[in-house]
Structure 1
Amino acid sequence: MDSFSSPSSGSSSQFNSDAFKDQLKNQLAQAYAEEFLETLRSKCFDKCITKPGSSLSGSESSCVSRCMDRYVEATGIISRALFSGPPH
């Protein structure tokens, strides 16, 4: 039985919208996570790495760490504001 067939049906051509929705949610979550990490990498790299080399200096490493922490925190604040609904 494939992921799109109905469990109560013997027919594999029957479409299961719940399975499709779950698969779509998973794919969107993965795409969002990949985009988030790429944005994080590019923004923090551009901000913190002034002279790329084979390793990070202590100040570059600290800058990247702080940049990532701030970006993750800001994204969380924005997400909560967007998805929490109207203020009470």
Structure 2
Amino acid sequence: MDPSSFNNPELQQLLQQEKQKAVVNEMIGKLTSRCWDKCITGTPGNSFSSSESTCLTNCAQRYMDTAMFVMRRLQQ
């Protein structure tokens, strides 16, 4: 690959978008794993129970709030 191509703004933008996608995918994977392990204690059926659904919602919200807080602090 030509080293001068790294100065291409379009390539830089594409690379940044791909990095952001990777971060989001990693976050979703962690969120899913942690919240699933915490909230789904038995064998899942065809649907979640009310308590499982509430737990998953709350867990995901707390995880996202924490991740946003940490990202804002790191940017400061």
Q: TM-score, with normalisation over the residues of structure 1?
A: 0.75
| Cα distance in 2 for residues equivalent to 1:47 and 1:53 | 16
**Residues 5-42 of structure 1, C-alpha deviations (whole Å, 9 max, x = no match):** xxxxxxxxx73521111010010011111111111111
Aligned-residue CA RMSD (Å): 1.3
Q: What secondary structure, in the 3-state scheme, does the structure 2 residue paired with 1:19 have?
A: helix
Q: Percent of aligned pairs with the same residue?
A: 35
Offset of 1:53 from its aligned partner? 2.0
The answer on 1:79 being equivalent to 2:60 is no
* 2:32 alignment partner in structure 1: 41
**Unaligned stretches of 5+ residues in structure 1:** 1-13
Counterpart of 1:43, as a letter, is R
Counterpart of 2:59, as a letter, is C
Q: Greater RCO between the two (CA within 8 Å, min separation 6)?
A: 2
Counterpart of 2:72, as a letter, is R
Work out which of the residue numbers 63, 68, 79 in structure 1 matches 2:60. 68
| Cα distance in 2 for residues equivalent to 1:26 and 1:75 | 19
Q: TM-score, with normalisation over the residues of structure 2?
A: 0.86
- Runs of 4+ in structure 1 deviating by more than 6 angstroms, as ranges, are none
Q: How many residues end up aligned between the 2 structures?
A: 71
